Amino acid sequence: MYLKNTSNEVKELVIKINELDRDDKLKFISYVFNLWDRDQINSLSEVNPSLLDDSIDIEIFNPSSIDYRYLLIEIKEYWNYKYSLYRLYPKKYKELIPVFEKLPFKEKKDLLAELFLVIEHDEFLPDIIDGYEIARRILKY
């Protein structure tokens, strides 16, 4: 564990993620990143927050929130080139999806920060992206 003040649920989920093999780990992280990129990590856990009435107060957290609008595009291009991610099929990582989806908004942000530490440690990021810096920005948000 790298982050302080995270819930036990986030800690347990990160441990389970680290126990996955490389392919399952990348596929789960890719799933979470897709949710993040599509504004699905938000304070109301809405699937499509852009369809909500403007009077509803919702906090949306996406890569633009930390000034990295194209971050996930760069990471996925790198993964598809280096690991042929598009060829991976769902396996054990799918068991972790319901656990992630039940987390509250703050814990989903904490998990995102942890994921950047995991992929930095496992050297799953292109050299031009610093996972520690991304995690810091997520925590500051």
Would you say residue 140 has pLDDT above 70?
Answer: yes
Residue 7 CB neighbours (<10 A)? 14
The C-alpha atoms of residue 63 and residue 29 are separated, in whole angstroms, by 14
pTM over 0.85, yes/no: no
Task: Give yes or no for a contact between 72 and 61, defined as CB atoms under 8 angstroms apart.
Answer: no
Task: Give yes or no for a contact between 87 and 70, defined as CB atoms under 8 angstroms apart.
Answer: no
Written as six digits, the tokens of 71 are 């971050």
Confidence of residue 82 (pLDDT cuts 50, 70, 90): confident
What pLDDT does 14 receive? 92
Confidence of residue 125 (pLDDT cuts 50, 70, 90): very high
The C-alpha atoms of residue 118 and residue 125 are separated, in whole angstroms, by 10
Confidence of residue 138 (pLDDT cuts 50, 70, 90): very high
Written as six digits, the tokens of 92 are 């054990």
What residue spans define the domains of the chain? 13-140
Confidence of residue 56 (pLDDT cuts 50, 70, 90): confident
Residue found by looking up tokens 């699937």 in the block: 47
Q: What is the per-residue pLDDT across 97-112, written as a single tens digit (0 to 9) for each?
A: 889 999 999 999 999 9
The C-alpha atoms of residue 68 and residue 97 are separated, in whole angstroms, by 24
Nearest one of 85, 43, 77, 68 to 131, comparing CA atoms: 68
Confidence of residue 46 (pLDDT cuts 50, 70, 90): confident
